[in-house]
Every structure is written in C-alpha cells, then in structure tokens.
C-alpha cells in the first residue's frame, strides 16, 4: 500500500534536462520527471527550474547540420533550439519554469555572472509564486552545483546533488573550485556505484550519500513465469545502435557460439552501427536469424521482452539503463557491462550476468555458461531478476530518494 498521506513539503528541483511541451530535444530524458511526478502523488509541491543551456548562434549552425550524426555518438541532451525567453508549464502536476542560461562551451561550467543572473531569476520566480523551498535538489553537475551553493545561502534549507557520471578530469585549480561547491552540499546522490567510486577517489567518502536509481511503472512487472529452453536461443538488444553500445559484439558472440545458425537475435533501436550490422548479416548469410526492428513504442519493446529469453547490452559508458530493469521485470536473463550503471544491481550469476564492455569473446563464454545451467538454475535467475525489478518501481525509488534527504 503506497502511503501518499504526507504533509505538504516544497521541493525545488534544479535540472538542465527536462521534457518540454513545445519541443523534443535530441537525447532528452524523462529521468528527473519520473521522480518529480511521484513526489507530487505523495503530497509534495514540486517546482522545477529547468536551466536551459543556450549557446552562441554559431553553435546551432553546426548542430542542426550534423545533429543526426551527433545524436548517435553522444549520450547527453543536445539543445538544438535556441530558446531565449522564459517559459512556464505543467506536466503531471509538476510545475516547470524553463530559464535560459548562456553557456559558451558544451560540457564546461558557466561564467559566474550568468550564475548570479540565474539565481536572481530563480528567487524572483519563487517570490512571484509565493514558494519557499524546504528542499533544494539538483541533477547534473552544471549549473546545479553552482546554483545549490548560492541558493543554500539564500534559503538555508537542505540541499542535494545527484551525479550522473559527468565529473570531468580536474586540474588543481578546478579541483579546488569543485571541492568548494561540493562540500557545501548536504547530500550527494549517485546514479551508479562506479560513479560513487570515481567521486570518492577524487573527494573522499561523504557520510551523507545515497544511491539514486531510476524505476519502472509497477504495472510493467510481469506476473507470469518465464519459460526457457534447455539451450536458450532467443536474444534481444535494446538501445541506440552506436559504437559505445557495442551492438556488433552481441552478433559476433552469437555467431561464434551457434556456428551461424539456430539462434534468433532482435535489434531494437537505430544508430550509425546499423550499416555495419547489415553488412555482417549479408556477409555471413544471417538474414534468417537476425532482425533489425528499428525504434518501436515502449509497449512493443515489452512484448519483445516476453518473447526473449536473454537481453544483452554491454555498453560503455552506461550511467543507468531503465531498459535493463524493464527486461528483468519480465524475467529475461540480462547481460550488462561490468563497472557500469548496473554494477551493484545485477549480481553476477544471481539475477543476471556482467561482462566486460564490448568484449565479444567474454560474452560468448557467458552465454555458454548460461546454456550450461539447468532449467531450474535459469528459472531461479529469472525469478531473482523479477524480484530485483519489484524493488525498483517508480514509487519505491522516488520514496527512497526523498527519505534519504529528509
């Protein structure tokens, strides 16, 4: 039973990536909104400050010329529309104000004068809305890190920053600057264990930290047991077909194990590796065994998880992938990358398997190992994967998030 009977609290959420009603950006994500809408259901008042990065006009000439190629190579959101006006809207009870903020170089920080201007706009918005935050939460290091530092002085309330793996290589000068900001933040959240390790190697362990995993809708979790063949032959890959996802490694491993026949592999997604996959299929006469489905709706992806016995995505870098949890929720035996986003969630041989990113030789060994297991052992891994998914529903991860900083 979900306890939504919470006294109202005001959450100010700072992000640089959020859904908009008037535009769909390249590689945009709903990750922060999934938390926010659950907090609204719990009785919190959530206001989102969407710090929309804008760049010099010359940037957009190149982006719009090459955006398809760029989107297949990069993970981060690409702002290909230059909004210079504030915009207010609401999604699922979450109030959002999109505030442009000027940035000169993608991936770098902001000039202090633009941070100061943004603080002025945020405070003015809160005053206009008669909104006094009880918590100020930030995602993505820039500009949330700088804004949290200033807003903590303004409101004197708990602050939290969730890191998505974007800590850059730091010089001595920038290290001291980052440490100044980060040590002023009350709670640090991490999207994966590898991100936590990188942070602690740089800045030391922080007592007030938590894991900030994403979740899936509870209704997605299958209520039916998965049926396996003694030798599993039905595989699925879900994700962008770009080099970092290593889609070719999956096909090469399966061809090696099955001697080029007797397996079925479905690719879901698009990207610049598609042509290489098609050439490989043609070269080795694999048309009867490999299907390229392209991008399909989420409900169709779930149907493919019902069909598949195993989902394989061994990409790097991988901050956190909901697709793994969705596959696990339908009892698929999942193979993910070691030392990436699923580290700590997938326990090797218990509820899935971990493989060195992009290593087709290691992947082949893992698939052989899976096929050497008894049906009962396969079934136990499948059941364990469903139990893991049950702990990572939208409600449970959002509640864990807010409880961690309350």
CATH number for 185:
3.40.50.2000
Tell me whether residue 24 is in a domain: yes
Q: How many domains does the structure of the chain reveal?
A: 2
Please say which residue of 179, 212, 245 terminates a domain. Answer: 212
Q: Distance (Å, rounded) from C-alpha 291 to C-alpha 199?
A: 40
Q: To 10 degrees, the CA torsion angle through 116, 119, 120, 125?
A: 160
Residues 91 and 183 in one domain: yes
Give the torsion through C-alpha atoms of 370, 314, 36, 100, to 10 deg. Answer: -170
Averaged pLDDT for residues 269-273: 90
pLDDT of residue 365: 97
Q: What pTM did the predictor assign? A: 0.86
Does residue 246 sit in the same domain as residue 195?
no
**Higher per-residue pLDDT: 5 or 182:** 182
Identify whether residues 102 and 117 lie together within a single domain: yes
| pLDDT confidence bin for 5, thresholds 50/70/90 | very low
136 assigned to some structural domain? yes
Least confident of 70-74, 83-87, 324-328: 70-74
Give per-residue pLDDT as tens, 22-50.
776 555 678 999 999 999 999 999 999 99
Q: Are residues 281 and 141 both part of a single domain?
A: no
Q: Helix or strand or coil: residue 346? A: strand
- Does residue 280 share a domain with residue 201? no
What was the pLDDT predicted at 335? 98
Q: Residues 255, 283: one domain?
A: yes
Residues 166 and 273 in one domain: no
Do 127 and 21 share a structural domain?
A: yes
Task: Report pLDDT digits (tens) over 209-258.
Answer: 999 999 999 999 988 889 998 999 999 999 989 889 999 999 999 999 99
Question: Do 261 and 179 share a structural domain?
Answer: no
Contacts of 295 (CB under 8 A, 6+ apart): 268, 269, 270
Task: Label the pairing between strands 94-102 and 87-91.
Answer: antiparallel
CA distance 21 to 277: 35
Q: Please report whether residue 395 resides in a domain.
A: no
Say whether both 34 and 152 belong to one domain.
yes
Residue 158, in any domain of the structure: yes
Q: What mean pLDDT is predicted for residues 119-146?
A: 95
Give the domain-ending residue among 194, 212, 230. Answer: 212
Cα–Cα distance, 229 to 341 (Å, whole number): 29
Report the pLDDT value the prediction gives residue 28, as an integer from 0 to 100: 66
Q: In the structure encoding, which two tokens stand for residue 225, read together?
A: 């047991």
DSSP-assigned letters across all residues of 194-247: HHHHHHHHHH---SSEEE----B-GGGS--SPPP--SS--EEEEES--SGGG-H
Band (pLDDT 50/70/90 cuts) for residue 8 is low
Beta bridge partners of 91: 94
Percent of the chain exceeding pLDDT 70 equals 89
Q: Is 400 inside any structural domain?
A: no
Q: Is residue 405 part of a domain?
A: no
pLDDT of 79 over the 90 cut: no
Q: Are residues 28 and 169 in the same domain?
A: yes
Alpha helices for 205-359 (secondary structure H): 247-258, 274-283, 298-307, 322-329
Say yes or no: 242 and 132 in one domain.
no
Domain that holds residue 88: 10-212
Predicted pLDDT of residue 254: 97
Tell me if 228 is assigned to some domain. yes
pLDDT of residue 74 exceeding 50, the answer is no
What confidence tier does 18 reach under pLDDT thresholds 50, 70, 90?
Answer: very high
Position 67 confidence tier, pLDDT thresholds 50, 70, 90: low
């Amino acid at each position: 039973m979900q306890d939504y009977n919470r006294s109202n609290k005001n959450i100010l959420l700072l992000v640089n990536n959020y859904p908009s009603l008037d535009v769909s950006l390249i590689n945009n994500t709903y990750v922060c909104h999934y938390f926010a809408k659950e907090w609204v259901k719990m009785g919190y008042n959530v206001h989102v400050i969407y710090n929309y990065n804008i760049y010099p006009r010359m940037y957009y000439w190149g982006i719009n010329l090459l955006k398809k190629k760029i989107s297949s190579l990069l993970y981060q959101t690409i702002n290909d529309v230059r909004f210079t006006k504030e915009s207010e809207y609401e999604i699922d009870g979450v109030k959002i104000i999109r505030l442009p903020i000027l940035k000169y170089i993608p991936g770098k920080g902001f000039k202090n004068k633009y941070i100061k201007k943004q603080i002025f706009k945020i405070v003015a918005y809160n005053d206009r809305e008669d909104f006094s935050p009880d918590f100020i939460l930030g995602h993505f290091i820039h500009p949330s890190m700088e804004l949290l530092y200033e807003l903590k002085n303004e409101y004197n309330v708990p602050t939290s920053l969730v890191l998505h793996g974007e800590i850059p290589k730091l010089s001595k000068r920038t290290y001291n600057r980052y440490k100044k900001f980060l040590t002023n933040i009350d709670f640090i959240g991490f999207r994966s264990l590898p991100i936590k390790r990188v942070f602690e190697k740089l800045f030391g362990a922080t007592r007030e930290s938590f894991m900030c995993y994403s979740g899936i809708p509870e209704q997605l979790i299958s209520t039916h047991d998965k049926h396996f063949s003694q030798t599993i032959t039905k595989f699925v890959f879900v994700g962008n077909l770009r080099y970092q996802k290593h889609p070719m490694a999956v096909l090469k491993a399966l061809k090696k194990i099955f001697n080029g026949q007797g397996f079925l592999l479905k690719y879901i997604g698009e990207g610049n590796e598609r042509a290489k996959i098609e050439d490989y299929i043609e070269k080795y006469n694999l048309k009867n065994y490999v299907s390229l489905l392209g991008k399909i709706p989420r409900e169709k992806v779930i149907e493919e998880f019902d069909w598949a016995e195993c989902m394989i995505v061994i990409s790097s870098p991988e901050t956190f992938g909901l697709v793994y949890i969705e596959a696990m929720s339908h009892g698929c035996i999942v193979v993910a990358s070691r030392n990436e986003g699923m580290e700590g969630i997938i326990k090797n041989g218990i509820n899935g398997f971990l493989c060195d990113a992009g290593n087709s030789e290691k992947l082949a060994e893992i698939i052989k190992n899976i096929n050497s297991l008894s049906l009962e052992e396969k079934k136990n891994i499948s059941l364990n994967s469903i139990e893991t998914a049950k702990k990572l529903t939208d409600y449970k991860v959002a509640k864990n998030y807010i409880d961690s900083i309350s």
